């Protein structure tokens, strides 16, 4: 009877030592199997954005109600493709991220096309919106963007690299942004000017009389 008890105790010791080792091996396999999945997620290519988004200003606004004040955020965002399209949007939200997202959608829905000529605008123009007046003028190559504040932020996401500007009157950023967009939308290409030289039509080839016969 004694030898049988010794064998039984020895077998129990082997099983108890093997069980934790198998559990550890199983955990190691699970970890190894999950590892490549995380690597694949990290190595996934990111899609390039077609438009560049820039937040110009964020304000906190309040609305007085019966129970007190309700605070929200107002965002001013400009969107451009660094070529000839740009748009400005203003929207409100309960938090900053919501306001920025709404303003970005508004800007993308109201984009305009700018007639860019040799990295500048075709002519000068002045526009007034509310109490804000914005004057923009074309500049020679190498001048750069001579502007400040809101006007510089809007011109920076377009294909214009040489420009002179001046902001007059009100300092309201929303009105200045709308005035700048209005001025850019009213630009007329040189081909559509009233005194623009008309292109001469190509002369028609005279057909020989013998060929007509």
- 71 in Cβ contact with 81 (< 8 Å): no
Q: What is the CATH number of domain 52-192?
A: 3.30.230.10
Determine how β-strand 85-93 pairs with β-strand 68-80: antiparallel
Nearest to 88 by CA among 161, 171, 173: 173
Residues in the chain: 213
Determine how β-strand 125-129 pairs with β-strand 68-80: unpaired
Q: Which of 19-23, 89-93, 112-116, 179-183 has the lowest mean pLDDT?
A: 19-23
- 165 in Cβ contact with 144 (< 8 Å): no
**pTM over the 0.75 mark:** no
- The residue extents of the domains of the chain are 52-192
How confident is the model over 64-89, as pLDDT tens digits?
998 899 999 999 999 999 888 999 99
How confident is the model over 110-134, as pLDDT tens digits?
999 999 888 899 999 999 999 999 9
Q: Which residues contact 174 (CB under 8 A, 6 or more apart)?
A: 57, 76, 90
For residue 10, the model assigns a pLDDT of 45
């Amino acid at each position: 009877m004694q030898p049988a008890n010794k064998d039984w105790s020895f077998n129990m010791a082997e099983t108890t030592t093997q069980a934790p080792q198998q559990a550890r091996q199983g955990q190691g396999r699970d970890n190894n199997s999950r590892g490549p999945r995380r690597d694949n997620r990290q190595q996934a290519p990111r899609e390039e954005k077609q438009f560049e988004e820039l937040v110009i200003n964020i304000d906190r606004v309040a609305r007085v109600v019966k129970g007190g004040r309700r605070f929200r955020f107002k965002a001013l965002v400009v969107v451009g493709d660094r070529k000839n399209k740009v748009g400005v949007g203003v929207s409100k939200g309960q938090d900053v991220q919501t306001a920025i997202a709404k303003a970005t959608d508004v800007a993308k829905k109201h984009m305009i096309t700018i007639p860019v000529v040799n990295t500048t605008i075709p002519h000068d123009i002045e526009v007034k919106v509310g109490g804000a007046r914005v004057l923009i003028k074309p500049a020679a190559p190498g001048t750069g963007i001579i502007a400040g504040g809101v006007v510089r932020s809007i011109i920076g996401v377009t294909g214009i690299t040489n420009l002179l500007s001046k902001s007059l009157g009100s300092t309201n950023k929303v009105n200045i942004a709308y005035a700048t967009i209005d001025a850019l939308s009213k630009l007329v290409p040189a081909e559509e000017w009233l005194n623009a030289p008309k292109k001469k039509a190509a002369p028609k080839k005279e057909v020989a009389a013998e060929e007509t016969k």
